[in-house]
Amino acid sequence: MMYVRVLTNRGYPREKAASRVGTSARRAEYHPYFVVERAQRLVGAAKKLPVPEGTYAVGAGLLILGLTAYGFQILAAHRLSSTEYAALNSLWAIVFVVAPGLFQPLEQEVARALAHRRANGIGGGPLIKRAALLGGILAISVAVACLIFAPQLKDRLFHGYGGLLVGLFAALACYYLAHMTRGTLSGNGRFGAYGLMHGTEGTVRIAFCTVLFVAGVTSPGWYGLALALPPLVAVLVSLRWQHNLVVPGPAAPSNELSSALGMLLLGSLLAQLLSYASFLGVTLMAHTPKEKASVGSFITGLFIARILILLFQAVQAALLPKLAGLAGAGRHDDFRSGMRKLLLIVVTLGLLGIPGATLLGPWAGKLLFGDKWVLGHRDMALLTAGSAAFIIALTLAQGLIALKAYTRAAIAWVIGIVAYVVAAAPGDNLYLRNELGFVAGSAAAAIVMAIMLGDQMRRGLPATVEELVEVIEHEPLEI
């Protein structure tokens, strides 16, 4: 009956859905030939299904956000000195480790639980308030920790520029509000406003940075504010025409948000940490004045290598509607098929991206970042290989999360971090040791994820791939 309901919800008449499910099940049971026929029919049907609501709006917003991030980096690199640029990007790395790591899982849980309430005609106001309280506690806790270690942050990461501390505290507050708003919009099905948030954040950031660039501002503190404040503007713009987002309803019990939220937070934080581990490692391992001056040049190569992430987001937007259509079949084979498709595309991107970045990366970097660019072909090969392995690990982690194996995903990220530390420890070449650490950490996480996902799939799979689709659809990768 569940399969009939799913197909009916996707536009099939009930009689046709019942006939389709019954006939397919009987054929698959008694005639192996029809397994192939059924798969072909499902793929054909998926192509005809409408694109899920919000796909284009959210995809466009993410594209704008990603492209404007590169614009921000390019303008800042041409206006700031090497040391100032390195200090600014230390703030960038901290913000995009902590904010998505802590607040994105909460956003996803709010969206999931709120959508469930809305589907049952129950107001979600108490749920949103409980999640906002939890997120506020997280934000304040991190802010207090940053305040305690402010002298170390200022000296070791921000190279003495105290204005960047102001940007850090502002970013914590703004991204807390932004992620809570995104979860509320998504849970209420307001995907247009959700996409508008991403697009507005990127547009405001590049506009703010452009004004600073034209005015000749060379203080990294102002560029830090250009990084931190746009999410607040995006919240105000996206909520301008929204009504009835916080509807009164029954009290939200403590377990309405996932009981595994702690593991989700840990896994998300570790994933973001691994993605920026090479840059943070270069920053912390730089001791001589020459090494410290070269830190800003390293991040330019990492940004070029992370173009793969933008490409992966575009692929997700194209593939998810097909997976959503196949989800209606309700068969375990569809889950495996969905994972194989995602992994095949990710691996293909990596195989194409690594030689492409190796050959063209230095030329593109010099063109975009000018004298800030000092990396060679080997640097780009290793950084791109690390990015490709990281995306594979993240894709496999999404499969584990869809199977509710949250602890296993977190363990794999821990192993990846340990592998990075072990690989980056020896040697005296500042760039090379961190590049090798990035490759080793991402590869180790991907291998462990693959082993754990294979074991989890042998233990049992969900009835459909809808959960996998939902996880990936709401898992944007931060640049």
187-209 pLDDT tens trace: 888 888 888 898 999 999 999 99
pLDDT one-digit tens code per residue, 30-39: 344 443 444 4
Position 313 confidence tier, pLDDT thresholds 50, 70, 90: low
**Is the pLDDT assigned to residue 374 strictly greater than 90?**
no
Amino acid at site 201? E
* pLDDT mean across residues, the chain: 79
**Most confident residue range from 43-52, 126-135, 399-408:** 126-135
d(CA 9, CA 166): 49
Q: In the predicted model, what is the mean pLDDT of residues 158-169?
A: 93
Residue 350 has what pLDDT?
77
Q: What is the percent of the chain where pLDDT is above 90?
A: 36
The DSSP call for residue 103 is H
What pLDDT does residue 19 have? 46
DSSP alpha helix (H) spans, 80-148: 82-119, 125-148
C-alpha angle 274/276/282, rounded to 5°? 110
Q: How confident is the model at residue 410 (pLDDT cuts 50, 70, 90)?
A: very high
Instruction: Write down the pLDDT at residue 43.
Output: 41
**Contact call for residues 232 and 95 (beta carbons, < 8 A):** no
Among 27-36, 119-128, 241-250, 254-263, which stretch is predicted with the lowest mean pLDDT? 27-36
CA end-to-end span of the chain = 42
Lowest mean per-residue pLDDT among 53-62, 184-193, 416-425: 53-62
Neighbours of 319 (CB within 10 A): 16
Q: What's the pLDDT at 8?
A: 39
Q: How does residue 216 score in pLDDT terms, banded at 50, 70 and 90?
A: very high
**Which residues in 63-90 are b (16+ Cβ under 10 Å) and which e?**
bbbbebbbbbbbbbbebbebbbbbbbbb
Token pair in block for residue 178: 């932004």
Confidence of residue 302 (pLDDT cuts 50, 70, 90): confident
At residue 286, the pLDDT reads 85
Mean pLDDT comparison of 100-104, 338-342, 395-399, 467-471, highest-scoring range: 100-104
Does residue 259 surpass a pLDDT of 90?
no
Give the pLDDT score at 47: 43
Q: Based on the number of CB atoms within 10 Å of its own CB, is 151 exposed (0-12), middle (13-18) or buried (19 or more)?
A: exposed
- The mean pLDDT of 430-440, rounded to a whole number, is 94
Cβ atoms of 131 and 257 within 8 Å: the answer is yes
In the block, residue with structure tokens 């499910």: 21
Domain ranges of the chain: 2-48, 54-259, 261-479
